């Protein structure tokens, strides 16, 4: 019997939990969650609700349930040192230690690593610990991206042209960042199409999963504020409609070099997920950022089509034997749409901003997969919180068929909710292809 500890309570972790439970091994799932996810709870042997920064509580739960290994879903427990605490107890994890999670938590660590080890993918950038020199650097670039050092819950990265316009505004934001963070990284703004490449790593071998494109903007047509992600898609050929085949290979090659560099730099093998946010530009692939975990929603695109036993994958990551297993995915397209409270991601003064914590009804979602995120199951039904509520995933032989399945399922979730009906549809995909052609020209 294998006892698996899962840490996390989102739709990403619901998809991970489902993949674990599909394993051929005899196992029990124990889940440590910040809030009760009814999907995860329903397939767990035992759950514990606690804080991800409460290392004592995590350790006690792991000890009490005699877990063999842990899978860490979100970035917060990685940043609070959960993997290190488990390691001290002799419990290995799929997820990096706090130091190696700097790949995500410190933008300057990652930029410097690529520069030091001569790894391609960095845009023009500079790291500042004070305001000196920032104004001069801004004048060298056409547009900038300001990135605070440290976790900001996806809210800290600000792009010129989107979140602010003038250099004066950029300087004011840098000043604000430096008051709260040790340093600020300024990247040149890049033009192109983005993709997420979630790679598995045992410290030496890196394996790419199919590329996915996320949709960060809240509204149809990529309008409105940035969110954690409103939905995502992947294609049956394990490429994306605007990509060249070599793009995935380049993203993987960069990630492989980064894994090697991490070992040289720290003497420690990176075990877990290296999720590269890449952008295809006129001058090739550039790295926007790494995350030290699976993407949310992107995990929901890859887990339902994973053919290989995920517990075997986890064991290979832990034991350093990823080179010995063949990780396969079904040749299927997937479309994930997040159903969110109407007020999700909106400024406080927006008329819909308060429409959260309401009850929702889930109708017939057909063949779509359903993954719970921020919902609370009470006696009288399901209630949303302020965050993304439910992810629905359509899976089919083609993208547009998968989209129809996901769209129908999303429309079956009733209440004061919203989703993006355009994700995975032909007009939006065509727009991405035209944009990429224009950039490449």
Contact residues for ligand GLY, defined by CB under 6 A: 154, 214, 229, 291, 295-296, 298
CB of 297 to ligand GLY, least distance (A): 6
How far is Cα 184 from Cα 149, in angstroms, rounded to an integer? Answer: 6
CB 342 within 8 A of CB 352: yes
CB of 223 to ligand GLY, least distance (A): 18
Look at residues 289, 235, 227 and name the one whose alpha carbon lies nearest to residue 258: 289
Shortest CB 298 distance to ligand GLY, Å? 6
Quote the tokens at residue 254.
Answer: 């960069």
- Strand 2-7 and strand 27-33: the pairing is parallel
Nearer to ligand GLY, 12 or 28 (CB): 12
Tell me whether residue 28 or residue 388 sits nearer to ligand GLY (CB atom): 388
Minimum CB distance to ligand GLY smaller for 68 or for 296: 296
Alpha helices in 73-133 (DSSP H): 75-79, 82-88, 102-105, 107-116
Is residue 23 within 8 Å of residue 367, measured between CB atoms?
no
Residue number of the CB closest to ligand GLY reads 295
For 268, the token pair is: 């420690």
Tell me how far, at minimum, the Cβ of 295 lies from ligand GLY, in Å. Answer: 4
Distance CA 410, CA 366 (A): 10
CB 66 → ligand GLY: shortest distance, Å? 31
* Residue 210 CB, nearest approach to ligand GLY (Å): 15
Q: 229 or 391: whose CB is closer to ligand GLY?
A: 229
Nearer to ligand GLY (CB atom), residue 25 or residue 155: 155
Nearest to 84 by CA among 59, 50, 49, 103: 59
Quick one: 214 or 247, whose CB is closer to ligand GLY?
Answer: 214
Nearest residue (CB) to ligand GLY, 149 versus 298 = 298
Distance between CA 107 and CA 183 in Å, rounded?
9
Judged on CB neighbours under 10 Å (0-12, 13-18, 19+), 434 is exposed
Smallest distance, ligand GLY to C-beta of residue 148, A: 15
DSSP notation for 24-60: SS-EEEEEEESS--HHHHHH-SEEEE--TT-HHHHHH
**Of the two residues 128 and 371, which places its CB atom closer to ligand GLY in the complex?**
371
Task: For residues 377 and 9, give the distance between their C-alpha atoms in angstroms, rounded to a whole number.
Answer: 13
Closest distance of CB 37 from ligand GLY, Å: 17
* DSSP secondary structure, 125-166, as one string: EEEESSSTTHHHHHHHSSSEEEEESS--TT---EEBTTTB-S
């Amino acid at each position: 019997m294998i006892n698996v500890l899962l840490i996390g309570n989102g739709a990403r972790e619901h998809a991970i939990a489902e993949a674990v439970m599909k394993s051929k091994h005899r196992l029990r799932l124990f889940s440590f969650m910040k809030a009760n996810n009814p999907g995860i709870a329903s397939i767990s042997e035992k759950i514990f609700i606690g804080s991800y920064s409460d290392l004592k509580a995590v350790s006690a739960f792991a000890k009490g349930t005699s877990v063999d290994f842990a899978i860490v879903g979100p970035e917060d427990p990685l940043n609070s040192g959960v993997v290190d605490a488990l390691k001290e107890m002799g419990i290995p994890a799929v997820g990096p230690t706090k130091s190696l999670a700097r790949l995500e938590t410190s933008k300057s660590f990652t930029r410097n690593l690529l520069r030091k080890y001569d790894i391609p993918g960095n845009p023009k950038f500079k790291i500042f610990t004070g305001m000196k020199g920032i104004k001069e650097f801004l004048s060298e670039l056409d547009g900038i991206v300001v990135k605070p050092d440290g976790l900001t819950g996806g809210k800290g990265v600000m792009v010129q042209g989107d979140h602010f316009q003038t250099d004066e505004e950029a300087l004011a934001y840098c000043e604000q960042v430096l008051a709260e963070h040790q340093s600020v990284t300024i990247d040149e703004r890049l033009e192109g199409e983005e993709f997420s490449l979630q790679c598995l790593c045992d410290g030496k071998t890196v394996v790419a999963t199919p590329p996915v494109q996320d949709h960060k903007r809240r509204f149809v047509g990529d309008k409105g504020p940035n969110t954690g992600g409103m939905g995502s898609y992947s294609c049956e050929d394990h490429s994306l409609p605007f990509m060249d085949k070599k793009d995935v290979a380049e993203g993987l090659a960069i990630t492989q070099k980064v894994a090697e560099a991490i070992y040289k730099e720290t003497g420690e093998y990176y075990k877990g997920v290296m999720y590269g946010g890449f952008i295809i530009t006129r001058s090739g692939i550039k790295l926007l950022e790494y995350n030290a975990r699976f993407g949310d929603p992107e995990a929901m695109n890859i887990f339902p089509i994973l053919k290989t036993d995920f517990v075997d994958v986890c064991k290979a990551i832990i034991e350093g034997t990823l080179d010995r297993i063949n990780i396969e995915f079904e040749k299927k397209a997937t479309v994930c749409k997040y159903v969110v409270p109407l007020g999700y991601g909106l400024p406080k003064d927006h008329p819909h901003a308060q429409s959260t914590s309401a009850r929702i009804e889930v109708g017939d979602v057909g063949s779509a997969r359903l993954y719970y995120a921020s919902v609370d199951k009470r006696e009288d039904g399901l209630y949303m919180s302020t965050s993304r509520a439910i992810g629905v995933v359509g899976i089919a032989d083609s993208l547009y068929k998968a989209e129809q399945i996901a769209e129908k399922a999303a429309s079956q979730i009733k209440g004061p909710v919203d989703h993006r009906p355009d994700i995975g549809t032909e007009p939006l995909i065509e727009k991405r292809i035209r944009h990429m052609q224009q950039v490449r020209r």
